[in-house]
């Protein structure tokens, strides 16, 4: 089965027909990366380098040799950093084996990663199209990388329920950046707030259910409402799990359990939610699901921030320093599943 999800260049949807032309794959190993011993069960492309997480899960990295040598070194550093960030949810990568391809593309320096896509194929593969001569540090500060790898946290390989898969990625891209140290706590909450505000401002289809807006999104738009309603779902679920367990259990744990049972499967959103509810022995995920997919505008988020000691003044977050809410808020900065 071949399927894909997440087209990073969603604002450019009408231009998707002009995909980057196929390019020649890298033919050289990148010495800066950890090289693989031979594995009997895996046959990486001859030109790929393989990284391992602490559990010996394998990531095949294929950086096009069309990049100058120095760019390949910078990109390989970025990929190592990105792959590490993904271990900050439940300690290991979501699959025993996955892949990242990086190809060169031209574009504006303001957008160093103008194109990216997740392919859920025989193995999960993330394809990045990156400008040449961009430093590792610049790439580390681009949200796109974190967003794409966060997609792999769900065993969802279908089409249609964009709000769910994009919501998870839009939420976790911010947590990953803070956990790996490229966003401060305040910056993380500001970016989440800004996202929800963009979802609320994308009000052209208010009055229509999220389900309908999602179905019509690629023809009519409403991307921000769809993406950030989905992020709201996971944010609300995360707060609920943490509140019920007094901080001992969170969405990190629920995703870890989902990965343990079902990583290799291709589950529908309904099946994923059923698993999440079963693993947490409650109906919270399905109840929130009913609420969000029937929502007729961006769900309210001010009360969620208030529960975490986050005040909003003129669109800017202000973090309360002390108290139980502030302690709960800081717990988001590290995984509860490690
Ligand atoms: Zn995405």
Q: Write out pLDDT tens, residues 235-257.
A: 999 999 999 999 999 999 999 99
Ligand 1 centroid to residue 230 C-alpha, Å: 11
What does the pLDDT read at residue 320?
98
Q: What pLDDT does residue 46 have?
A: 64
How many angstroms is it from 56 CA to the middle of ligand 1?
26
Ligand 1 midpoint to CA 325 (Å): 30
Ranges of the chain whose pLDDT falls below 50: 1-4, 9-42
Buried b (16+ CB within 10 A) or exposed e, 187-214: ebbbbbbebbbebbebeebeebebebbb
- Ligand 1 centroid to residue 322 C-alpha, Å: 35
Q: What pLDDT is attached to residue 34?
A: 36
Q: Tell me which fold the domain 162-333 belongs to.
A: Neutral Protease; domain 2 (1.10.390)
**pLDDT tens-place string over residues 271-316:** 999 999 999 889 999 999 999 999 999 999 999 999 999 999 999 9
pLDDT at res. 158: 78
pLDDT at 159: 75
- Rounded to the nearest angstrom, the distance between the alpha carbon of 147 and the centre of ligand 1 is 6
CA–centroid distance, residue 214 to ligand 1 (Å): 14
Please give the model's pTM, rounded to 2 decimal places. 0.89
Residues present in the chain in total = 338
The pLDDT of residue 5 is 52
Sequence ranges of the domains in the chain: 3-153, 162-333
């Amino acid at each position: 089965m071949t399927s894909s999800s997440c087209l990073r260049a969603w604002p450019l949807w009408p231009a998707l027909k002009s995909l980057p032309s196929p390019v020649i794959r890298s033919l050289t190993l990148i010495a800066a990366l950890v090289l693989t011993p031979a594995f009997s069960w895996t046959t990486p492309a001859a030109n790929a380098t393989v990284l391992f997480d602490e559990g010996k899960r394998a990531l095949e990295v294929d950086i096009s040799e069309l990049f100058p040598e120095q760019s390949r070194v910078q990109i390989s550093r970025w990929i190592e950093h990105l792959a590490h960030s993904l271990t900050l949810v439940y300690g290991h990568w979501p699959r025993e084996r996955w892949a990242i391809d990086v190809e060169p593309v031209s574009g504006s320096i303001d957008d160093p990663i103008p194109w990216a896509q997740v392919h859920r194929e025989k193995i999960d593969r993330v394809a990045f199209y990156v400008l040449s001569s961009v430093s590792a540090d610049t790439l580390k500060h681009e949200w796109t990388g974190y967003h794409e790898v966060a997609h792999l946290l769900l065993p969802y390989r279908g089409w249609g329920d964009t709000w769910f898969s994009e919501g998870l990625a839009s939420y976790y891209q911010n947590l990953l950046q803070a956990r790996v140290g490229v966003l401060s706590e305040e910056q993380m909450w500001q970016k989440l707030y800004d996202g929800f505000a963009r979802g609320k401002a994308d009000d052209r289809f208010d009055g229509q259910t999220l389900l309908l807006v999602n179905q019509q999104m690629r023809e009519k738009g409403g991307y921000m409402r769809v993406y950030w309603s989905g992020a709201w779902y996971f944010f609300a679920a995360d707060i609920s799990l943490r509140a019920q367990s007094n901080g001992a259990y969170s969405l990190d744990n629920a995703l870890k359990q989902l990965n343990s049972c079902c990583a290799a499967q291709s589950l529908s959103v309904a099946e994923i939610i059923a698993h999440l509810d079963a693993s947490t022995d409650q109906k919270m995920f399905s109840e929130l699901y009913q609420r969000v997919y029937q929502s007729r505008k961006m769900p309210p988020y001010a009360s969620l921030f208030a529960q975490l000691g986050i005040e909003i003044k003129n669109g800017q977050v202000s973090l309360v320093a002390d108290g139980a809410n502030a302690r709960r808020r800081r717990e988001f900065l590290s995984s509860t599943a490690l």
